[in-house]
């Protein structure tokens, strides 16, 4: 793909998120405690929302919390909405960020009441993703998610923007601007879906090639800012961007990992998860997240220094279940141990007894992690020395198809092959093994 194509894609993406930008705006953060969400849950959510807001380029000025069920018209109660409007004016607020999902009606009513922009948690995360997407696939996925989010929020201005005809069969309101906008958005969504489907085909081809090679795969998953990229760099010298902020990298990166016993594996960094990851993003990034579905082993990276680490573990596992990766074997890595308090680290190791304690920053625990990965990956493939009779040429072809043939020669009684075969498919070959 040329630089010109990338620039055009970035310009389209920038135009798409114009109405969601909150760069250097003064932000008021508001949360609602209802149902199973306790006051402590809302406080933790607002703390994370502040980090998300800063990552998007805005300045969190104040936080407000309310306990009540959401109002269908304004999300908050009538009195609280009026109170927030007064506070927003007094603090010279540019944008109100709601730690929840707003309906188009709620968002429109709140903007009218506050006299400033109102965005929900989904819009905020979409804006961050739009800023950090760099690859062709990443930009297409983010644009698709943005358009799906915007579609039900499009508003027209009535028939004054309609196309009026001047002849028989053309009189009347014609097509309103709202209908035109919707048609254009739907057209762009269809185009992006076709492009991503083609990219998925290429991804499937590469995945099949990796499976045929017999090289095991590991996917790094975890909450955003848990240190996955730092861990990838420590293990493989990948040179991936590392920043102490949420969603600093979105594009999946795959590198070769040399294991202690001499074998190799492929290890992939994936997009960070977050509590209540917007449905639009789960759908748009499903092809990227499927790296975790098709992998042989998941390395679940946890920020052991975060006081809400257990809630983050629950959120990650919920997302893995949502994309169909709950059954993939897991190795948990309690990262950032150098920054974790001894008491908190002891609680985590007590609850997750199989977890490995490590620090990508200092290198602590890397030897134990590599050994654990090798041990968990060992049963996935088996290396066999085979003598296959010439009349069983189908087994020679099968060995090439499902495994990695390391050597091949011809003897008087048959074909001598040394191959690495997936353990689950090695049955028909074991009787021929020398």
- Mean pLDDT (the chain, rounded): 82
**SS3 label, residue 132:** helix
Cα angle: 349, vertex 353, 354; to 5 degrees: 115
Quickly state the pLDDT bin for 239 (edges 50, 70, 90). Answer: low
| pLDDT over threshold 50, residue 167 | no
pLDDT above 90: percentage of residues in the chain:
36
Which of the residue ranges 141-145, 268-272, 286-290 would you say has the lowest mean pLDDT?
286-290
- Alpha-carbon distance of 189 to 177, in angstroms, equals 18
Which of the residue ranges 191-195, 277-281, 362-366 would you say has the lowest mean pLDDT?
277-281
What confidence score (pLDDT) does residue 20 get? 47
| pLDDT over threshold 50, residue 21 | no
Q: Are 288 and 271 in contact (CB under 8 A)?
A: yes
**Region of 237 on the Ramachandran plot (φ > 0 left; ψ -120 to 50 alpha; else beta):** left
Domains annotated for the chain, with CATH where assigned, are 3-129 (3.40.50.11060), 133-197 (no CATH), 215-364 (3.40.50.300), 381-430 (no CATH)
* pTM tops 0.85: no
- Longest Cα–Cα distance of the chain, Å, equals 92
- Alpha-carbon distance of 75 to 71, in angstroms, equals 4
- Alpha-carbon distance of 125 to 278, in angstroms, equals 8
Q: At what angle do helices 78-90 and 104-114 cross, to 10 degrees?
A: 50
Render pLDDT for 368-410 as a digit per residue (tens, 0 to 9).
999 999 988 877 777 889 999 999 889 999 888 877 788 999 9
The residue assigned the tokens 């689950």 is: 424
Render pLDDT for 90-129 as a digit per residue (tens, 0 to 9).
999 999 999 999 999 999 999 999 999 999 998 898 888 8
Quickly state the pLDDT bin for 173 (edges 50, 70, 90). Answer: low
- Alpha-carbon distance of 272 to 251, in angstroms, equals 10
Provide DSSP, 218-251.
Answer: EEEEEBTTSSHHHHHHHHH-------SSTTS--S
Render pLDDT for 276-332 as a digit per residue (tens, 0 to 9).
776 666 766 665 666 677 788 999 999 999 998 999 999 899 888 887 888 888 999
Looking at residues 154-178, what average pLDDT do you find? 51
Residue 370 corresponds to which tokens in the numbers above? 């590599």
């Amino acid at each position: 793909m040329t630089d010109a194509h990338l620039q055009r894609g970035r310009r389209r993406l920038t135009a798409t998120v114009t109405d969601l930008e909150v760069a250097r705006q003064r932000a008021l953060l508001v949360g609602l405690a209802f149902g199973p969400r306790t006051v402590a849950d809302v406080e933790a959510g607002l703390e994370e929302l502040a980090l998300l807001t800063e990552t998007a380029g805005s300045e969190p000025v104040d936080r407000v919390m309310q306990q009540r069920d959401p109002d269908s018209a304004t999300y908050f109660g009538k009195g609280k909405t009026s109170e927030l409007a007064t506070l927003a004016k007094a603090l010279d607020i540019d944008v109100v960020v709601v730690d929840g999902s707003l309906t188009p009606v709620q968002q429109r009513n709140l903007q009218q009441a506050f006299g400033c922009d109102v965005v929900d948690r989904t819009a905020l995360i979409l804006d961050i993703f739009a800023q950090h997407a760099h690859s062709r696939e990443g930009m297409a996925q983010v644009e698709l998610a943005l358009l799906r989010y915007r579609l039900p929020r499009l508003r027209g201005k009535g028939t004054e923007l309609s196309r009026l005809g001047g002849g028989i069969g053309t009189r009347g309101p014609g097509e309103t601007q709202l209908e035109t906008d919707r048609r254009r958005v739907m057209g762009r969504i269809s185009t992006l879906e076709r492009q991503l489907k083609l990219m998925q085909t290429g991804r499937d081809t590469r995945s099949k090639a990796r499976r045929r090679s017999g090289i095991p795969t590991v996917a790094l998953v975890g909450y955003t800012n848990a240190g996955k990229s730092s861990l990838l760099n420590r293990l493989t010298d990948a040179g991936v961007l590392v920043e102490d902020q949420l969603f600093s990298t979105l594009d999946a990166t795959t590198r070769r990992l040399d294991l202690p016993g001499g074998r190799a594996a492929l290890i992939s960094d994936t997009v960070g998860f977050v509590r209540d990851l917007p449905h639009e993003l789960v759908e748009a990034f499903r092809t990227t997240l499927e790296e975790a579905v098709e992998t042989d082993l998941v390395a679940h990276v946890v920020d052991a220094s975060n006081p809400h680490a257990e809630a983050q573990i629950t959120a990650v596992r919920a997302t893995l279940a949502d994309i169909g990766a709950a059954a993939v074997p897991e190795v948990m890595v309690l990262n950032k141990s150098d920054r974790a308090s001894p008491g908190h680290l002891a609680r985590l190791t007590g609850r997750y007894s199989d977890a490995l304690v490590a620090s990508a920053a200092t290198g602590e625990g890397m030897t134990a992690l590599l050994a654990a990965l090798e041990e968990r990956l060992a049963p996935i493939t088996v290396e066999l020395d085979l003598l296959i009779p010439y009349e069983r040429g189908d087994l020679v072809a099968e060995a090439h198809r499902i495994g990695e043939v390391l050597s091949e020669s011809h003897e008087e009684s048959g074909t001598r092959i040394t191959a690495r075969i997936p353990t689950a498919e090695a049955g028909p070959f074991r009787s021929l093994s020398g």
